[in-house]
Each structure stands twice: as C-alpha cells, then as structure tokens.
C-alpha cells in the first residue's frame, strides 16, 4: 500500500499539484475581483446601478484573462521541444508534465467556454440595468443615452457589445468543432475553425478597449454616499439592501472615512465636489500580450525555418499500404521519438500532417525518414505524386537527381513523450501497427550510436 501511494505520488503527484495550483489561481482571482467590485468604494455608484451583475461579470472576466493567456502556452511547440531536450533546464518529473500540455490546453479551453457563458449572462443583466437604472446624477457613468433605451440597441451599437457578440459566435464555432467526435471523423473542420483563434484575440483586444465600466477617481473629495448640502443623492437609483441607511447621524470626526470601514459603519462626510469617473486601463492587454507575442514569434520562426524544401532521397513501398520516405535537409537535427509536419503544396495547398520520424539524422548520416500509412485522401494523393514520378523515370533516367519529386516542406522537429525512453534504465515499449514508428527511431539510434554512449538491451 505504501509503495502504491509512493508510486502514485512520483508519477501522478506533480500533475495534480499543477492542476490544483491552476484551480486555486482561478478561484482566488474570481473571489478577489468579486470582492473588489462588491465592496470597493470606487465602484460604489456603479454597483448601485448594476447590482450583482457587475461583480459576477468582472470576476469572470478576470478568470477569462488568465485562461486566455495560459491557453497559448501549450501551443508553443518549439519551446516545449526545447524544454524536453535540454536535460539541464528541467528535471525528468517536470518534463513529464509537458506530456499533459494538450490536456491543459483543453482544460483552459473548457474553462473559457464556461466562464464566457457566465460573463455573457452577467453582462446581459448589466445591459438591462444600464437601461433601466439610467442616472441623471452621474451622467458619465451611463452607457445608455436615456432611460429605458432598448437593451438590444446597447448591445449591438457599443464597441464592447458588438465585439462581445462576435466573440461568442467565434467561440461557438470553435467549441462545436472541437468535440471528440468531430476531431475523429473530420479533423479538417476542427483545424480550420480552430485557426479562428486569431480573430478571437483581435476581437478581445478591441473588446476591452471600450471603457464602458468606469471607476471613481476622486474618493478623497467625494467619499461615496457622502452628504451633499444642496441636493440629496440617490433619489433615482434603487438602493440595494446593504445600503438602506446611507444618511445616519452626521459624525464630524469620520471625515474622510476609510474606504473599507464605510460600508459597515456608514460614516459619511461632506462632498466637496461631484464624483469624477474614469475608464479602466485594459488589463487584458497586459495579460495576453506576453503569450501572444511568444506564440507569434514562434510561428514566424517555424515559417522561416520550414521554407526551404527538403531533398527526397528515396521512396520505398512497404506491404500493408505503408510508404517510407527518406529525405535530407541542411541543419536538420532531431532526437529519436520526435515528429515532423509535412507540407506538400501539390498534394494540398492548406493541409499539413504530422508524422513521427522513424530514422533520425546522425553524425555520419544526414538522411532522416518517416513511415506513412496510406489511409486518407491526403496520403493517397501524396503517394500518387511520389510513386508516379519514380515509376515514370525509372527506365529513362536512373540518377535520383533527375527525378521530379514534388516539393515537400518539413516543419519541426517537435517533441513527444516517447523521447524519454532513452533516459530510463529500463524501458518497456509497446506498440502495434503504424504505432511502432517512435520505437523504430529509437531502435535505429541504438544501432548506429556507439554503445559507450548508450546501454543497448537485448530483446
């Protein structure tokens, strides 16, 4: 039993610890933001107008900020491959966490969907309240132009409203195309809709620049709920239950009141001036700019690195519809277990497909190879393009330089969990069919690398 627990802790413990950390980060942010808008004096008048909808919408927005920034990190494949490869940077346990990067991405995605639903619901209530609780006292605070303005007009004619609606529709498309059934049957739909994420981020950055929700900046001169000698405040705004008694006995020693105490003790002071409101700085820009820049930099790097076509050395047909493709590329280095993404414009202009390397380039041999199983339409077209040309030219020009192979571009290599097999004393590798490809590259490495570097195992 003790061994079971110890082994669980060693294998699964760090993964669950990370998840717990992420979960508590989200819960903490939600709670902190909720309390800020519920009790914060700078939001006193806004809270009176909008009620609970304000707090829930802002709290869910802060959770969305975190998740929209974290969701990009597992997709930075070059960075992950680098972390996997450098044994000095990360310990074996940390590297094992990288195996769960896709699951983390999915978790963040689901959280974004759920909290977007909450955010939208809360903001719809806010829109209704902006319209119903239009205040003549603090005109700057209003989003509506007059009392009782159609909330749908507010939704579709303001910048945050319109971008919000468009973002929900983009999220809906991305979400429905990412279900397991769709990915299994029509991966293309998933891939093309998921690339809409860029539209989503652009809309997000415009959405937060709207500046509809404002906070009060002159709290010293105008403590919220203070007594104005000439007019009485809060005549038109319906007062929530906790603020039933805003004007108790006027106590001179309470001026200026501490913001955290005023709600409970209901101290008021004299207003020296009207409240002034200002829009927030878009916090979301700070959250998402880092990961977004990192991701864009990575995509650019991948694009420039994969722009040079590879030289196809040979094409071998194996039984059971398997094709082996051997290639050469300058400055291409890969470790056993990694995979590459092949792009052949003649087969398809938009599609590119990942394949595990079955043979990695070594110090003496620069050739690397992949084994492909011909299953779908892209692999069939690719096979036709490769074999047709070799068949055509066999009788006339046997020299491989003369063969008219289609141009193939290689993106990668990227890391995978099977890279770790050589870092353990004992590795048990189980695979079937085309799944044997990562282990083929490991076996090839064992054959060609000197035994002093690795310990080869029999059987």
Partner 1 sequence: MGRIEWAMWANEQALASGLILVAGGIVAVAAQFKGWPFAAYSIAAGVFVCLLEYPRGKRKKGSTMERCGQKYLTAVVKIFGPVTRNYYVRAILHAALAVPAGFLLSTILGTACLAIASAIYLLAAIRGEEWNPIEQKKPPERPPVGGGTIKQPPSMPPPRPPVETRKKQPLEEAAQENPIPVTSEAE
Binding site for partner 1 (CB under 8 A): 117, 120-121, 124, 127-128, 151-152, 155, 165, 168-169, 172-173, 175-177, 179-182, 184-186, 188-189, 350, 376-377, 447, 451, 456, 458
Min dist. Cβ of residue 49 to partner 1 (A) = 18
Phi, psi of 130 (to 5 degrees): -60, -40
Min dist. Cβ of residue 447 to partner 1 (A) = 7
Min dist. Cβ of residue 163 to partner 1 (A) = 14
Min dist. Cβ of residue 187 to partner 1 (A) = 9
Question: How far is C-alpha 437 from the chain's CA centre?
Answer: 30
Q: Cβ contacts of residue 322 below 8 Å, gap of 6+?
A: 371, 372, 373, 374, 434
Q: Which is nearer to partner 1, 11 or 145 (CB)?
A: 145
The H or E element spanning position 203 is: helix 197-207
Question: How far is C-alpha 36 from the chain's CA centre?
Answer: 26
Alpha-carbon span 27 to 20, nearest angstrom: 10
* Backbone dihedral region for residue 337 (phi beyond 0: left; psi -120 to 50: alpha; all else: beta): left
Q: For residue 209, give the 3-state DSSP assignment.
A: coil
Q: Which is nearer to partner 1, 106 or 182 (CB)?
A: 182
**Closest by Cα among 6, 107, 11, 102 to 63:** 107
Cβ–Cβ contacts within 10 Å for residue 372, how many? 22
Min dist. Cβ of residue 186 to partner 1 (A) = 5
Q: Which is nearer to partner 1, 131 or 216 (CB)?
A: 131
Q: Which is nearer to partner 1, 55 or 98 (CB)?
A: 55
Question: Which strands form 311-318's sheet, in the order they lie side by side?
Answer: 311-318, 322-328, 367-373, 353-359, 339-343, 409-414
* Backbone dihedral region for residue 149 (phi beyond 0: left; psi -120 to 50: alpha; all else: beta): beta
Min dist. Cβ of residue 173 to partner 1 (A) = 7
Min dist. Cβ of residue 212 to partner 1 (A) = 17
Q: Which is nearer to partner 1, 349 or 430 (CB)?
A: 349
Q: Which is nearer to partner 1, 126 or 338 (CB)?
A: 126
Min dist. Cβ of residue 172 to partner 1 (A) = 5
Alpha-carbon span 237 to 133, nearest angstrom: 6
Q: Which is nearer to partner 1, 398 or 451 (CB)?
A: 451
Sign of CA dihedral 353, 354, 357, 360: positive
Q: Cβ contacts of residue 178 below 8 Å, gap of 6+?
A: 109, 190, 193, 194
CB 90 within 8 A of CB 79: no
Min dist. Cβ of residue 297 to partner 1 (A) = 30
Q: How, if at all, do strands 311-318 and 277-279 pair?
A: unpaired
Q: Which is nearer to partner 1, 9 or 350 (CB)?
A: 350
Min dist. Cβ of residue 181 to partner 1 (A) = 5
Q: Which is nearer to partner 1, 186 or 384 (CB)?
A: 186
Min dist. Cβ of residue 257 to partner 1 (A) = 35
Cis previous bond, 391, omega within 30: no
Alpha-carbon span 283 to 104, nearest angstrom: 24
Q: Which is nearer to partner 1, 5 or 376 (CB)?
A: 376
Q: Biggest alpha carbon distance in the chain?
A: 106
**Closest by Cα among 337, 340, 345, 314 to 327:** 314
Q: Which is nearer to partner 1, 139 or 184 (CB)?
A: 184
Question: How far is C-alpha 453 from the chain's CA centre?
Answer: 39
């Amino acid at each position: 039993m003790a061994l079971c627990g110890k082994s669980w802790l060693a294998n699964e413990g760090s993964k669950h610890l990370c998840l717990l950390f992420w979960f508590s980060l989200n819960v903490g942010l939600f709670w902190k933001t909720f309390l800020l808008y519920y009790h914060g004096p700078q939001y006193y008048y806004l809270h009176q107008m909008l009620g609970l909808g304000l707090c829930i919408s802002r709290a869910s927005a802060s959770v969305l900020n975190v998740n929209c920034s974290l969701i990009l990190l597992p997709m930075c494949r070059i960075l992950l491959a680098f972390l996997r490869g450098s044994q000095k940077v990360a310990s074996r346990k940390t590297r094992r966490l990288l195996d769960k990067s896709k699951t983390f991405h999915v978790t963040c995605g689901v959280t974004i969907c759920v909290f977007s639903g909450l955010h939208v619901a809360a903001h719809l209530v806010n829109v209704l309240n902006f319209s119903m609780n239009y205040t003549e006292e603090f005109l700057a605070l209003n989003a509506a132009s007059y009392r009782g303005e159609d909330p749908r007009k507010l939704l579709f004619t303001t910048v945050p409203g319109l971008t919000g609606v468009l973002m929900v529709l983009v999220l809906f498309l991305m979400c429905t195309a990412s279900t397991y059934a769709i990915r299994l049957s029509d991966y293309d739909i998933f891939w093309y809709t998921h690339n809409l994420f860029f539209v989503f981020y652009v809309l997000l950055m415009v959405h937060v620049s709207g500046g509809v929700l404002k906070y009060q900046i002159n709290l010293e001169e105008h403590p919220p709920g203070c007594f104005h000698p000439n007019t009485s405040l809060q005549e038109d705004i319906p007062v929530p239950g906790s603020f039933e008694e805003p004007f108790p006995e006027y106590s001179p020693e309470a001026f200026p009141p501490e913001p955290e105490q005023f709600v409970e003790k209901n101290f008021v002071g004299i207003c020296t001036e009207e409240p002034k409101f200002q829009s927030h700085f878009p916090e979301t820009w700070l959250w998402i700019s880092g990961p977004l820049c990192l991701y864009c930099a990575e995509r650019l790097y991948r694009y420039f690195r994969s722009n040079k076509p590879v030289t196809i050395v040979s094409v071998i047909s194996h039984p059971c519809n398997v094709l082996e493709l051997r290639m050469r590329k300058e400055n291409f280095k890969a470790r056993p277990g990694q995979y590459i993404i092949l792009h052949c414009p003649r087969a398809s202009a938009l599609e590119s497909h990942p394949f595990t390397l079955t043979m990695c380039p070594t110090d003496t041999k620069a050739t690397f190879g992949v084994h492909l199983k011909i299953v779908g339409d892209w692999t069939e077209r690719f096979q036709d393009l490769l074999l047709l040309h070799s068949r055509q030219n066999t009788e006339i020009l046997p020299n491989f330089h003369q063969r008219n192979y289609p141009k193939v571009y290689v993106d990668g290599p990227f890391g995978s969990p099977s890279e770790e097999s050589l870092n353990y004393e004992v590795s048990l590798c189980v695979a079937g069919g085309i799944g044997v490809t990562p282990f083929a590259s490991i076996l090839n490495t064992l054959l060609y690398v000197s035994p002093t570097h690795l310990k080869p195992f029999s059987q």
